[in-house]
Amino acid sequence: MVRSISTTRSIPLFRSTSVALGAALLALASLFASAASAADKTDKLQQLFIAEAYLELHEGPGRGYAVTQVVPRGEAIDVLYRRTEWFRVRTSRGIEGWASQKDMRRTLLADGSAFTFDLGDRAGFTRHNWEMGVQAGDYGGATLVSAYLSRAFNEQMALEVTGSQFLGNASNGYTAELGLIHVTRPDWRISPFLTLGTGIIWIKPKSTLVLPDDRKDQTAYAGAGVRFYISRRFFVRGEYRHHMVFTSRNENEEINEWKLGLAFFF
């Protein structure tokens, strides 16, 4: 395996990698826009009640906008929609304005329970349901482009699916993997994690005097990494994976993978 994925790279290979990485980043941006939009919307006309002394409504979604209305304790408001860290609401008298997510966390539902929602901040980084990202790096000496989607069970455990493409001098290929993630300290801004999983690798050798057959083998991996929270819903993720490839020739092969990329949660 290591011999077939050569560390020698040509200029066309770098161009192919750049195109692939650019396409992956473009796809990530598109997915983020739709996912963030879906995550930021609340049910229209959801009724809440003011639990604090008052709730300030701003002219726009930001502290720089003037306060145009103060809603007193006990009054009801309807949630229209959400834009990042601000909610567009309407009072019982039909007046609309913007309330900060910090203030909205102090409102109550009709049954007296707290109004909860996903946070695009450090608290959301610690506790979220989904995350997605793209990464680039090295796969046994070949250039790697990778994307993943993760679904959390709780703050520390998640199920993750990963798809990757590697481009080498002797061969190209793809991998599809499914694994578990254990975040050891989700409350830290720099949070380490461990990963364990299995997958499939497809290898397509490049033309030689004697063209070898394409390969499809099962793999297993173990690894570790770190997540670094940046701002809002974005964080940097870097990781290392050690792969064991179970070949049809009963000759197990080992591959080391390093990668770094940008991700977001929702």
90 plus 188 within the same structural domain = no
Q: Is residue 5 part of a domain?
A: no
> Distance between CA atoms of 206 and 204, rounded to whole angstroms?
7
170 plus 230 within the same structural domain = yes
90 plus 57 within the same structural domain = yes
Q: How many domains does the chain have?
A: 2
pLDDT given for residue 157 in this prediction: 96
> Distance between CA atoms of 77 and 208, rounded to whole angstroms?
71
Domain CATH code at residue 82 = 2.30.30.40
The torsion of the CA quartet 41, 44, 47, 49, rounded to 10 degrees, works out to: 40
169 plus 204 within the same structural domain = yes
Nearest one of 1, 30, 4 to 264, comparing CA atoms: 30
pLDDT < 50 positions in the chain: 1-4, 6-18, 36-43
Q: Tens of pLDDT along 190-219? A: 999 999 999 999 999 886 655 667 889 999
Q: Tens of pLDDT along 171-191? A: 899 999 999 999 999 999 999
pLDDT given for residue 34 in this prediction: 52
Domain ends where: 79, 97, 116? 116
Q: Which domain holds residue 257?
A: 11-38+125-265
Q: Is residue 1 part of a domain?
A: no
Distances in Å between the alpha carbon of 127 and those of 118, 175, 263, 264? 8, 29, 15, 13
Residue whose pair of structure tokens reads 């692939």 in the numeric block = 20
Q: DSSP letters of 63-83?
A: TTSPEEEEEETT-EEEEEEEE
85 plus 189 within the same structural domain = no
Query: Tokens for 13?
Result: 């290979």
Query: Tokens for 260?
Result: 């770094």
56 plus 157 within the same structural domain = no
> Distance between CA atoms of 20 and 112, rounded to whole angstroms?
51
52 plus 93 within the same structural domain = yes
22 plus 82 within the same structural domain = no
> Distance between CA atoms of 131 and 209, rounded to whole angstroms?
45
Q: What is the pTM of this model?
A: 0.64
Domain ends where: 91, 116, 141? 116
82 plus 205 within the same structural domain = no
Domain CATH code at residue 190 = 2.40.160.20
Domain ends where: 96, 116, 136? 116
Measured over the CA atoms of residue 135, residue 137, residue 244 and residue 193, the dihedral's sign is: negative
